Amino acid sequence: FNPENYDLMEIQRVIDNEQQQLHHNFMKNNLLENNEDSFKL
């Protein structure tokens, strides 16, 4: 078991989660902007 490798993997996992969240928010915002005329929130 290599702690350094573990840290790198953990960091990568956190980064991936962040990226997914950013992407999700970005898509959601785009959808909202594109559909503002279709339905009022």
pTM surpassing 0.85? no
Higher pLDDT, 13 or 2: 13
One-letter identity of residue 41 = L
> What pLDDT digit, counting tens, does each position of 5-38 carry?
889 999 999 999 999 999 999 988 888 777 666 6
d(CA 41, CA 31) in angstroms, rounded, equals 12
Cβ-based burial of 35 (10 A; exposed 0-12, middle 13-18, buried ≥19): exposed
